[in-house]
Structures are given as C-alpha cells and as structure tokens.
Amino acid sequence: MNIKSVFIAIIIGVLFTVFVQSSIDAVYAPIEYDQCYSRDTAFVDDNESKKINAEQEDCFAQLSLARENRAFFEFVIAGIAGVLATIAGLYVRSSKEAAQSFSTGLLIGGLLTLFFATVENWGNVGLAYRPFVILVELIIVVWVAYKKLPTTPKKRKKK
C-alpha cells in the first residue's frame, strides 16, 4: 500500500470509532450530574437544607447506578461493533488498492473501538472479569496479526 492508501485506512479507522461512539451517545445519552443541583440552598433554613441535601444524595445515587448501566451498555455495544468490524476487515479481499484501504481501515477501526471500549469502561468491569476481557482482546489481536501479517518476509533486492 502506498502512503495515500495508508492515510485513507487510518482515517476510515478513526471515523469508524467516532461513528460507533456517537451512535451510542445518540441512543443512550451520557449521564450528567448537573440535574442534581436544581435548587438553590442559599436562602433556606437548616431543616430545608438537610432535606435538599438528602434529595441530592438520592439523586447522585440514582445517577451513579444509571451511569454504571450506561457504561455496561457502551462496553457491550462498542465491543461487539469492534469485533464485527475487525472480522469484516480481515475477510474483505480484493486486489484493488481502494478495497485494501477500506479493509485495513475497518480493521483499524474495529481494534480502536475495542480498545477505547475497554479503556473507557475498565473501572466498571468486575475484577474477576478483567483477565477474561484482556485474554479475549489479546486473542483477537494475535488472530489479526496471524491473518494479516505475511508469514515469510519478502527478500530484499540487492542493488
């Protein structure tokens, strides 16, 4: 592949990753904690202030649970999209340069999506599941390397 094809593949990969993330955000809006600060506590007495603080703590607890649910949803959807794009990138075959760029771009996008899904949600993955997640991702990367990289190095021509 020439430099233009490599550049196009990288752009396709990055755009695929952004597409997956923006699609997740469109379906399942990010959680914002600003809604827990709906009332001003500056001009209220102590009893009212305690009531407002209790409401805010309850709001934070509900939003924290909603954020964990969203993170799990994001991890699963982005992980599936990343694996599917990686598989598609491996199996698109053509002798044309454009198809090779597209294939490599899907491959890059799939791996990037999988990587960012893991990094963004690593704190929400249970300790018992972390080694399994890393093992699966390691298997995917080794599989991609086995499928995509040449098995025998090309001999250099002597000048």
Distance CA 115, CA 30 (A): 20
Question: Residue 154 falls within a domain, yes or no?
Answer: no
Q: What is the pLDDT of residue 145?
A: 84
0.75 exceeded by pTM = no
Q: What is the pLDDT of residue 84?
A: 92
Question: Residue 82 falls within a domain, yes or no?
Answer: yes
Question: Residue 69 falls within a domain, yes or no?
Answer: no
Q: What is the pLDDT of residue 12?
A: 93
Question: Residue 87 falls within a domain, yes or no?
Answer: yes
Q: What is the 3-state secondary structure (H, E, C) of the chain?
A: CCHHHHHHHHHHHHHHHHHHHHHHHHHCCCCCHHHHCCCCCCCCCHHHHHHHHHHHHHHHHHHHHHHHHHHHHHHHHHHHHHHHHHHHHHHCCCCCHHHHHHHHHHHHHHHHHHHHHHHHHHHHCCCCCHHHHHHHHHHHHHHHHHHHCCCCCCCCCCC
Distance CA 9, CA 16 (A): 11
Domain count, the chain: 1
Q: What is the pLDDT of residue 85?
A: 93
Q: What is the pLDDT of residue 13?
A: 93
71's tokens: 């993170």
Q: What is the pLDDT of residue 97?
A: 77
Profile the chain (159 residues) by mean pLDDT over runs of 10 residues. 87 94 88 67 65 78 84 89 91 79 91 90 81 89 82 65
Question: Residue 84 falls within a domain, yes or no?
Answer: yes
Q: What is the pLDDT of residue 43?
A: 58
Question: Residue 20 falls within a domain, yes or no?
Answer: yes
Question: Residue 136 falls within a domain, yes or no?
Answer: yes
Q: What is the pLDDT of residue 78?
A: 92
Question: Residue 66 falls within a domain, yes or no?
Answer: no
> Are the CB atoms for 120 and 30 separated by under 8 Å?
no
Structural domain span for residue 14: 3-33+74-147
